[in-house]
Structure 1
């Protein structure tokens, strides 16, 4: 494969969800090739799996068409330094995990240097800006996709694509242990638990945590026995969340009702009776944890107007996209207010949610493809090709 020398693999993830995906793939690559040198940009999960992170992943964790502009100089500095590093130390293959605005640019430059490239997680070309497929084709040798409905657009343009499923679907049991999750978080077995996930980016915390906090207070007024668990994606978000709550906790919400934890998002989701969360990969994990959820998102005014014009998919949350119909509430912009959110949460708390959970189980089974082994195999196949 590499004339007896260790494999060299470049990997870049730009946010916590990509960090999780890449970590499973890296662990499988390391299992097959223990001496492989894997380096790039990643978070705690990738580092633990054996990746040497050359830069802080937080630099890349920016969301929104407009919001990224302020961070552009720092992002470009990282991109240029990363490309220079790989020019000097060429990997056998480079894998960009999600973060397409950053990774496709890196992939395109490395591919011109003769380095094979893979993009892991299809950009949402099935939802908006389909013509990006041409940029993807120029930048990558293959796209690894998470969802079965993505394949059609790649086949349409004859771009190499491989459906590998989702690592979370392999990691999370079809029937999660709710009692065990509550015990892990020191939550009473009979408590009414609501998990609150305001996002993994600083911008999401700023836009969603205030309204989520007011929503918690509104729910608590009607159900005083509720316990709210807020899992922070990393140390940055933990500091953001605790700092905000220390100054802004409503009078109607006792501090003993709110538990902020570092990590443990999956246990919080499994332990919950219902989840309030920022739309994104977390909605997929919530579905796999078999928890009813209310998904919300707020964009800057300009980004929202642009997306209204460009976005063509009927839904924006992954459970609804996978189901092909609206099975969970998804709220945007002005709909994201304490009254609407609390009404939806209370509806779940007062309902039999078994039919929804059964639907989640069915969707879970379609995504269970042994993704870590599939993605590692695709990468090794391409190195050998």
Structure 2
């Protein structure tokens, strides 16, 4: 049977008992009959002489406790003689193996009291996640080795230390415990000495014990070590294996090819398989089921009921008859992202939805009841923020109060990390103080940790108040997970512009390119046939526009004599403050100008199609221009103190996302002190008159856009019944399904 071939039973226990009996050196024989390198008698013969088999064990780690206890049980099963155990072990451990596999089936996250074997988690689940408010009391649990009859000298917890520097304060205590262990082993007169993992303590113990027996000219016991040292991970590791043969008679290896390399270096070894596989067998035995695949399946429902785990959003919606979502979206781009996500939630949710939060125009059209407009507090920069701090604090408090009163099942923030993270942190603290079941917290658009020194380290603190990050750039989700944050790569939301345009034009997607109608635009705005049209995108915040628009105006002034029939199209962000500023600014514009509202996707891409090049402030618009295949120049200015801070803290050399992802200056950038009308005019003139430069940007845009697509891994993990065609895998659809499936067992996602 498949279930018979487990590490402890098939290889470990039978090998210990049969060692030196009818030895066969062929490691392929499953019931291993081990060959002897030592002069000691076979353990089974010594047991026959003494009427019992005495085994002395040393198991250091928590995982070693589990390994040793199972091996002890298997020895009892196969030994023809009574067994007596002594040694060192006894980590407190969760006795219910099922709990270990249930911990990582939920999204909201922190392991508080229990230690879980790291290698037990890696093959089967994306992340270890346990509700932060659950405390699992292990005071009534017994160490596994003790439950199998081990009489322990002391607990290895007293000397369980990892690391070189960390070891120094404990050296004296470890030496004392090591001496005690050797003395106890000699007095016990074992037939078998078995050490499990913890090579630092284990190998020193085996070496000193073998030396003690040799000095006294005694028949020494057989020495076994379970879990080979990681020689394959270290320089010179293989060479150090040869020295182990002096005091280790047999290595029990758990990874492929370890046994072969050990034998080549003079150590007898057997590959017994990874002990964590026995968790599958134990679970199936408890559940009276058979093994069809090596996968450890726990009972999510039982765990939720036992420990009162907060329900998944969809379960809370089932209870209340509706799904309540509280949203906060800061930027203009965040408005578009949130509105599309709201539409996707309506499409996939089996329950009615109710929205509340802080909105912009597009979110209102999807039915959001807003507290106030984010335009009131939309500020970028350090120095620029100072005059608005009091108003932002007042609005933040209002938002937290409104969220608590709304009793949402899901809280979703989009971009604007400054306001969003403070809001999520205060909201989580408010729920914890009142001992309430808190909603699931999502943040859409991961912070640009890759752009700042120490950015990755700051990710770890987000897990306190963010349950799930929806990432839009490649590899962000992987790095977030490595730093303890659950994350999903949904793809860049601007890709949905292509789908929206194709839907309106009743066309299909052949490439990820947003094509507008240049002829319609030229006819609508009476653009002369020979005119050179430039798109200008000065930003979405009034602070940006008031700083950048005068620079753009002076740039156009310098160009009007060198570019015949120059016209400009200025894209106006859907922001009341920006619209008011723009209305007054264009009266003194040096060339004919067309103002178009930035909130209309079709009109925006029609304008892009009618233009030769574009000049934009750094931001999401640079991605939109690549999607439209419109060559551009990126510009940016800020307050001098903000610029100094960016120069000091940033660890990337580019500001526009296409250049960052391609790691090449494909798009010309004029930043900070270089952002002057003369420099911008020169860059734009070169781009207008040099077809090779424009073609280089267009070719690079195709490569860049492909990097923004959702990963195949993400698409594979989605419920396939919802998404049928390639075009269905939109960022908003993936994000919506991630939210709706949050907290469900991994197998159902």
TM-score, structure 2 as length reference: 0.49
Alignment pair present for 1:231 and 2:591: no
**Larger-gyration structure (1/2):** 2
2:703 maps to 362
Counting matched residue pairs gives 379
Equivalent residue for 2:581, pick from 226, 232, 240: 240
1:222 maps to 562
1:148 maps to 474
Distance 1:384 1:318 in 2: 34
Alignment pair present for 1:340 and 2:657: no
1:184-226 per-position Cα deviation (integer Å, ceiling 9, x unaligned): 7525365311000111111111211111001111111111311
2:205 maps to none
1:235-288 per-position Cα deviation (integer Å, ceiling 9, x unaligned): 321221121222x43xxx24xx11122224443333321111110111111111
Equivalent residue for 2:445, pick from 99, 109, 121: 121
Equivalent residue for 2:339, pick from 14, 17, 23: 23
1:268 maps to 607
* 8 A contact 2:516–2:608 mirrored in 1: no
1:316 maps to 655
Distance 1:141 1:180 in 2: 48
Distance 1:181 1:108 in 2: 48
1:283-339 per-position Cα deviation (integer Å, ceiling 9, x unaligned): 111111111111111111111111111111221111111212111011112211111
Alignment pair present for 1:186 and 2:525: yes
Equivalent residue for 2:414, pick from 62, 74, 97: 97
| Alpha carbons of structure 1 residues 350 and 236: separation in structure 2 relative to 1, 3 Å | same
Distance 1:269 1:8 in 2: 38
Alignment pair present for 1:8 and 2:324: yes
Q: CA deviation at 1:183?
A: 4.3
CA RMSD of aligned residues (A): 1.9
2:734 maps to 374
Distance 2:568 2:700 in 1: 25
1:165-184 per-position Cα deviation (integer Å, ceiling 9, x unaligned): 11211322515135256247
Q: CA deviation at 1:155?
A: 3.4
Distance 1:106 1:71 in 2: 16
* 8 A contact 1:93–1:383 mirrored in 2: no
Moved more, 117-126 or 27-36: 27-36
Q: CA deviation at 1:23?
A: 1.1
Q: CA deviation at 1:150?
A: 2.1
Q: CA deviation at 1:38?
A: 1.2
Distance 1:181 1:40 in 2: 38
* 8 A contact 2:531–2:564 mirrored in 1: no
Distance 1:66 1:135 in 2: 25
* 8 A contact 1:30–1:50 mirrored in 2: no
Match runs of 1:29-108 below 5 Å: 29-33=345-349, 35-108=352-425
Distance 1:175 1:197 in 2: 17
| Alpha carbons of structure 1 residues 185 and 124: separation in structure 2 relative to 1, 3 Å | farther
Distance 2:526 2:538 in 1: 20
Moved more, 145-154 or 60-69: 145-154
Distance 1:259 1:219 in 2: 17
2:542 maps to 202
| Alpha carbons of structure 1 residues 357 and 181: separation in structure 2 relative to 1, 3 Å | farther
* 8 A contact 2:618–2:636 mirrored in 1: yes
Query: Gapped runs of 5+ residues in structure 1?
Result: none
2:119 maps to none
Distance 1:152 1:187 in 2: 50
Aligned partner of residue 382 in structure 1, secondary structure: coil
* 8 A contact 2:515–2:605 mirrored in 1: no
* 8 A contact 1:198–1:209 mirrored in 2: yes
Distance 2:389 2:565 in 1: 45
Q: CA deviation at 1:53?
A: 1.9
2:111 maps to none
Moved more, 364-373 or 329-338: 364-373
2:617 maps to 278
Distance 2:348 2:485 in 1: 28
* 8 A contact 2:341–2:735 mirrored in 1: yes
| Larger RCO (CA under 8 A, 6+ residues apart) | 1
* 8 A contact 1:122–1:144 mirrored in 2: yes
